[in-house]
Amino acid sequence: MLKGIAHTHDDDPSDNRQGVVVALSRLSRDIANADSCPFNVAAEAAATLLRLTRVAVFLCSGGSLVLAGETGLDNDEALISGAEEIANAALMTSGPVLYPTVSSEPSAFARKFARSGVESIMCVPMRVGESNVGAIVAMSELLRTFSPSDIELLHVVASQAALAAVQTEITSDVTATPHEDDLIRLAQRKIQELSLINQVSEAISSTLDLDRLLKIALEQSMAAVGADVGSIMLINEDTNKLEIVASRGLAQRWIDSTHQAIGDSVAGWVAEHGESVLVSDARKDSRFRMSVFRDDISSAASVPLKSKGGVTGVLNVNTLDPSRAFDERDLELLATVANQMAVAIDNARLYARVNRRTKQLDSLLHISRTVTSTLNFDEVMHRLCDELLRLYQMDVAAILLLDELSERLRFGHGHGLRSTRRKYFYYDLVAPLAARVKATGRKLVVRDVLASRLYRTDAAVAEGIRTAICIPLKNQGKLIGVAFVMSRQVRTVPKSLLSLITRIGELSGVAIHNARVHRSKYRIAEILQRNLIPSSAPEIEGLEIGHKFLPAREVGGDYYDFIRLGSRSIGVVVGDVAGSDVEAAEYTTMGKHVLRTYAREFHSPAEVLRRTNDVVCEDTRAEMFISLCYGVIDLDRMALTYACAGCEPSILYKKATGETSTLRADGMLLGIKPGVVYQEREVALGRGDVLVMYTDGLSEAGVEGKRFGGKAISRVIAVNSELSAQGVADALYEALLEFVHGRVSDDVAVVVAKLV
């Protein structure tokens, strides 16, 4: 009956087809529940669906037609009379009557419509079975070429109104004839069927929740045919087997154990052939291959759920009452419901598929952000295990990494084992799986490890590991390791999750490779850093030296150095290389040794910086440069000679006056351009004087928009000038940490020299 409705008004792209379906699904309910005249409801429904303003509903009564319902006629007697003539014509032909252009008709009724402004007319009879019970006349004030879909739509409304007419007759006449009894039963059955269709249609249009939809459809189908037991089975998209997704009256053991292959059992046969069947005794039917029979079922009906892509499932209903047997009419009704259910299932599955795909992409993005947000190797491994367990909802994760020298897989990280925390236990658990992935370079999924002769291990038995997913980790197509996620239950991994394995492996492989490279570079830089910072200061009579180094990260770019130039002379260097990675440490090391060489050859700090700068310019990249201050303390002359290359100016506290002064000297950063001439200055020293040389990490340390600054440094020096050189350095360190609440953003290097 609903055939063709989905295409209503194809010529109007703005037409809401889903709204049409919903309106029709509610029509019979609205007619049945109408407080006054159900035929007015039918007329208004036809006018709304066809976008008209005038509709008349006529009923057969005593051999003539009576106006039973209308909309838009406004007691226009000429219009009503003309509509009645059209209705009589439709009843005589038992088919639709169309007048697309009324004004061109020569008959007398055309003039009646012309006076009322009607241009086009369509009329269909109202029938129940073979009997005519009335007609519906639809009139348009505009020229209208009624399409087949329009005619079908008016037929649907007419059939609903016809059922209302028969139902009205049932309630008013208790002495019906045998023929009328059959008609009454047919009408009652038809109303029941329409009620079922309405329920299913409303569910389809109101929800994309597959579980809710299937539950409604199953309950209504069972109620309509008087079934005691029922189920809906869908073909699992991953296993291609029928599984029960909704049931009523079935024991849980049947629900849990039913996974039927296409072709097996009654439902399997229906799914394979796409045909409905009625069954009273499956044992005697040669069509069905069944290993288990239920002898308590007296009658069964199974209908396929068909969509554009083919059969998606099967609707099964059974009765346990020997006196009740399903018939072809029941099968036809169930098939109607099944067709609508199949559409709904397609929509719900499409929605679920899109939603699942969105979640998968979100998971990939989340994993990407998680494992690439740090270069800390241990943190990357830990996060990857956590993300894989979250995504695949499993119990144990492990990562083995390929050793580039030995070409062997070694344990990297693991999480989730109950019996032990020994890393070798993880290795024993996944060793056979890892060997397979290493040999093939491809992903591996084992549904039941314990049932496999190849992959079963003592560790797997001890932990009860069943399902395992093995993910090859690759960087630029080269295997660098294998990740494993494992479950203690046998699991069927959805294809959608399996499809992510390759991308996860590539993404994680790159993250692990980068973290390994960073770890190697860090270790090198750490070694260089240890060699840059002196563990102790040289001892010179009459001079105390204190020092402090505070890196902002694992590897810093700041350094300081002490160069013995004689028994009573020492060179002091404080420097800062741009950056804080391996290259920064490498260039700092180079600058340190170049400067040491020239410091022993030339007494002038300015000349030492000039020559060091020329070498640095030759051997460093354009973006690498060094800020540096170099001074020579001569205890025989009691003088400090110094030169600066863009470094923070040193501070000198004079005990004799109790004042501090800033020691400035012009000079460009090392490494910018060769041939630079540096300014050299000299200042006299006295007993008790304190010299502080430092990098900008001390003066520019900030919090809440405020900087520590040179004034604070001078104040701390003056207050603590009576302390030893190391005491002054420690005081500056404590004052800085208190100011920045224990957190610094740049490396800090401080050297304190005190004459005693």
Across residues 349-355, what is the average pLDDT? 73
Within-domain flag for 164: yes
Q: Write down the pLDDT at residue 1.
A: 33
Q: Which of 28, 317, 273, 296 is nearest to 166 (CA)?
A: 28
Query: Which range has the worst mean pLDDT, 12-16, 41-45, 573-577?
Result: 12-16
Confidence at 504, pLDDT banded by 50, 70, 90 = confident
Q: Write down the pLDDT at residue 346.
A: 77
Q: Write down the pLDDT at residue 656.
A: 93
Q: Please tell me the distance from the alpha carbon of residue 40 to that of residue 54, in angstroms, as a whole number.
A: 11
- CATH code for the domain in which residue 120 is found: 3.30.450.40
Phi, psi of 173 (to 5 degrees): -130, 105
Q: Which stretch, 127-136, 182-191, 351-360, 441-450, has highest mean pLDDT? A: 441-450
Are 667 and 744 contained in the same domain?
A: yes
* 644 membership: H or E segment, kind and range: strand 639-645
Q: Please tell me the distance from the alpha carbon of residue 388 to that of residue 375, in angstroms, as a whole number.
A: 19
Q: Report the Cα 65 to chain-centroid distance in Å.
A: 63
Q: Which of 72, 76, 74 is nearest to 50 (CA)?
A: 72
* 707 membership: H or E segment, kind and range: strand 706-707
- Buried/exposed code over 721-731 (b: 16+ C-beta within 10 A; e: otherwise): bebebbbbbbb
Which one-letter DSSP state was computed for residue 450? G
Are 30 and 163 contained in the same domain?
A: yes
Q: Please tell me the distance from the alpha carbon of residue 452 to that of residue 447, in angstroms, as a whole number.
A: 9
* pLDDT single digits (tens) 295-322: 677 788 999 988 777 888 999 998 888 8
Q: Which residues contact 655 (CB under 8 A, 6 or more apart)?
A: 686, 687, 688, 689, 690, 721
Percentage of the chain beyond pLDDT 70 is: 83
- Burial class for 249, CB neighbours closer than 10 Å (0-12, 13-18, 19+): middle
Q: Write down the pLDDT at residue 176.
A: 45
Percentage of the chain beyond pLDDT 90 is: 32
* Angle value at C-alpha 423, between 422 and 426, nearest 5 degrees: 105
Within-domain flag for 368: no
Q: Which stretch, 555-569, 582-596, 604-618, has highest mean pLDDT? A: 604-618
Q: Which stretch, 78-82, 140-144, 308-312, 727-731, has highest mean pLDDT? A: 727-731
- Strands across the sheet containing 277-279: 259-261, 241-248, 229-235, 310-319, 299-307, 277-279
C-alpha torsion sign, points 284, 285, 291, 297: negative
Q: Which two tokens stand for residue 488?
A: 């203690």
Within-domain flag for 357: no
- Tokens 């045998």 locate to 178
Q: Write down the pLDDT at residue 455.
A: 93
Q: Which of 516, 514, 537, 518 is nearest to 526 (CA)?
A: 518
Say which amino acid occupies 33. N
- CATH code for the domain in which residue 597 is found: 3.60.40.10
* 57 membership: H or E segment, kind and range: strand 54-61
Q: Write down the pLDDT at residue 115.
A: 83
Are 56 and 156 contained in the same domain?
A: yes
Name the more confident of 423 and 243.
Answer: 243
Across residues 328-353, what is the average pLDDT? 78
Among candidate residues 317, 352, 387, the one where a domain is terminated: 352
Among candidate residues 504, 523, 542, the one where a domain is terminated: 523
Are 298 and 439 contained in the same domain?
A: no
Within-domain flag for 304: yes
Q: Is it the case that residue 505 has pLDDT exceeding 60?
A: yes
The CA-atom distances, in angstroms, between 290 and each of 251, 260, 446 are 19, 10, 29
Within-domain flag for 361: no
Q: Write down the pLDDT at residue 10.
A: 42
Confidence at 203, pLDDT banded by 50, 70, 90 = low
Confidence at 8, pLDDT banded by 50, 70, 90 = very low
Name the more confident of 223 and 185.
Answer: 223
Are 92 and 171 contained in the same domain?
A: yes
Across residues 642-647, what is the average pLDDT? 94
Average pLDDT score, the chain: 82
Q: Which two tokens stand for residue 669?
A: 């950063």
Are 178 and 49 contained in the same domain?
A: yes
The CA-atom distances, in angstroms, between 583 and each of 533, 554, 620 are 17, 14, 10
CB 91 within 8 A of CB 60: yes
The pTM (predicted TM-score) of the whole model is 0.44
Confidence at 216, pLDDT banded by 50, 70, 90 = confident
Confidence at 689, pLDDT banded by 50, 70, 90 = very high
Residue 92's domain comprises: 5-198
Are 381 and 514 contained in the same domain?
A: yes
Within-domain flag for 144: yes
Q: Write down the pLDDT at residue 72.
A: 92
Query: Which range has the worst mean pLDDT, 323-337, 435-449, 684-698?
Result: 323-337
Are 391 and 292 contained in the same domain?
A: no
Q: Is it the case that residue 511 has pLDDT exceeding 90?
A: no
Across residues 157-183, what is the average pLDDT? 62
* pLDDT single digits (tens) 270-296: 989 889 988 877 667 777 776 666 767
- Tokens 């060793």 locate to 431
Are 343 and 432 contained in the same domain?
A: no
Are 40 and 159 contained in the same domain?
A: yes
Can you give the length of the chain in residues?
Answer: 756
* pLDDT single digits (tens) 41-86: 889 989 988 889 899 999 998 788 999 999 999 888 889 999 999 9
Are 511 and 537 contained in the same domain?
A: no
Q: Is it the case that residue 685 has pLDDT exceeding 90?
A: yes
Are 546 and 518 contained in the same domain?
A: no
Domain count, the chain: 4
Name the more confident of 119 and 15.
Answer: 119
Across residues 85-92, what is the average pLDDT? 91
Q: Please tell me the distance from the alpha carbon of residue 199 to that of residue 363, in angstroms, as a whole number.
A: 38
* pLDDT single digits (tens) 381-401: 888 888 888 888 899 999 999
* Angle value at C-alpha 472, between 466 and 474, nearest 5 degrees: 165
Q: Which of 576, 555, 556 is nearest to 629 (CA)?
A: 576
Query: Which range has the worst mean pLDDT, 169-173, 217-221, 693-697?
Result: 169-173
**N-to-C CA span, the chain:** 110
CA dihedral 10, 11, 13, 15 (to 10 degrees): -70
- Buried/exposed code over 165-178 (b: 16+ C-beta within 10 A; e: otherwise): bbbbbbeeeeeeee
Within-domain flag for 363: no
Among candidate residues 458, 492, 523, the one where a domain is terminated: 523
546: left (phi over 0), alpha (psi -120 to 50) or beta: beta
Alpha helices, DSSP H, located in 533-647: 582-601, 605-619
Within-domain flag for 528: no
Q: Is it the case that residue 527 has pLDDT exceeding 70?
A: no
Q: Which of 705, 709, 714 is nearest to 696 (CA)?
A: 709
